[in-house]
Each structure stands twice: as C-alpha cells, then as structure tokens.
Amino acid sequence: MKNHKNEVKKEEPAPAQEIDCVCGPAAPADGETGKHKKRAEDYYNQLLRLQADFENYRKRVEKEKPEFIKWGKAEILLKLLPLYDLLLAARAHVNTAKENGGADETLKGLGMIFAEFLKVFDAEGLRAMEPVGKPYDPMASEILGVVDGDDGNDGLVVEELQKGFYYGEKILRPARVKIARKKAAPAPQAEGTPAAGSETVE
C-alpha cells in the first residue's frame, strides 16, 4: 500500500494581486476648489460687514443715549408748564389785589414758589423766552393778536400772552404773543379820479 500521506502536495500561495484603491475622498477638481474658496471669502466678507454695522450701531446708540434721557426730562418739564402758567395768572391777580390795598403775604408766598420753579428750570437747562420788544420770530412765537403800530414798533412783539421756553438750544414751547403792525398808507389816487364816496357833479 502506498502511503498517501506523503503524496499530498503543498499548495503554493497565489501571487498577491495589486489592489488599485484611493484612500480617502476623491480629490476635488480645480473648479470645485475655486467655488468653495470664493464662497468662504463671501461669508467672511459678510461677517466683516455685519461686525462693522453692529459697531456703528453701538456707537450711535451710545452717542444718542444722553439725548434720549434729556428729552425724557423735557416731557416732564412740559407737563409742569401749565401749572407755572396758572401761578403766573394767580400772581397777576394778587398784584391787582395789592394795588387795591392787600394780599402782601399771598404775594410773598407766590414769589417763593416762583423762585423754586426757576431753580428747577435753571438746573434742567430750561429758560424762558423774552420776546417782548423784539422782532417777531415765527420759529419761536405764535401770533394770537395784532395791534396798531407805528414806525417805531412795526413788526415787534408788544405783549406776551403765554411764556415760551427753550430747552437747551431747542424750542420746548413757543411763546404766544401780540405784535404791532403799522397801518398801510392809503394808495395815492391818480389825477382826475374822484375820491371814494364823492359824487361827480355834471
């Protein structure tokens, strides 16, 4: 009997096959790379613009903040002015009463109230207009009446009916005034033209 154990042939390993593989993602084409780069630059530029816009906005808010606070105070001061007007009217009545022989203590008390008002107004940058005797300013005053004037006061404010106020350099409330207007001279008549109201005698 043959010994088949020694007859088993050893199989030789198959030769290694070359594997053609690319490790990792495929490299993008040059056109794709350019698109990605341009898109990244656009995003970066947008980010820079947003950052600049926000910085400008922040600076503007910081600059305007004191003005907002200032005009918040102005609204309160404007509400105080009608009370001030009433006190002015009361003082005028008391002055009339004093001329008729009384009301000294009341007038003194009103004077103290006005002094306190003026302190607050001055501290907050509020100042009264002084339009009487000056040319009428349409930006600062409102005409409520016109009186007959002459060459000396034509166009001037002759009476202040309600006080006007400045808040800083701006007008908080215009004054209400009367102004003087010079009467226009009658138009000269042409020769031969009869005067108004006259009759032609034939």
The per-residue pLDDT for 98 is 72
What are the b/e assignments for 51-88, b being 16+ CB within 10 Å?
eeeeeeeeeeeeeeeeeeeeeeebeebeeebeebeeee
CATH number for 126-185: choose from 2.30.22.10, 3.30.460.20, 2.120.10.30, 3.30.420.480. Answer: 2.30.22.10
* Six token digits for residue 60: 């503007």
201 — pLDDT class (breaks 50, 70, 90): very low
Q: What is the pLDDT of residues 107-155, one digit of tens each?
A: 777 888 888 888 888 888 888 999 999 999 999 999 999 998 888 888 8
Q: What is the pLDDT of residues 166-195, one digit of tens each?
A: 988 889 999 999 999 988 767 666 655 555
Note the Cα 182 to chain centre separation in Å.
Answer: 39
CA distance 83 to 78: 10
The segment(s) of the chain belonging to CATH 2.30.22.10 are 126-185
The per-residue pLDDT for 69 is 65
CA distance 12 to 159: 127
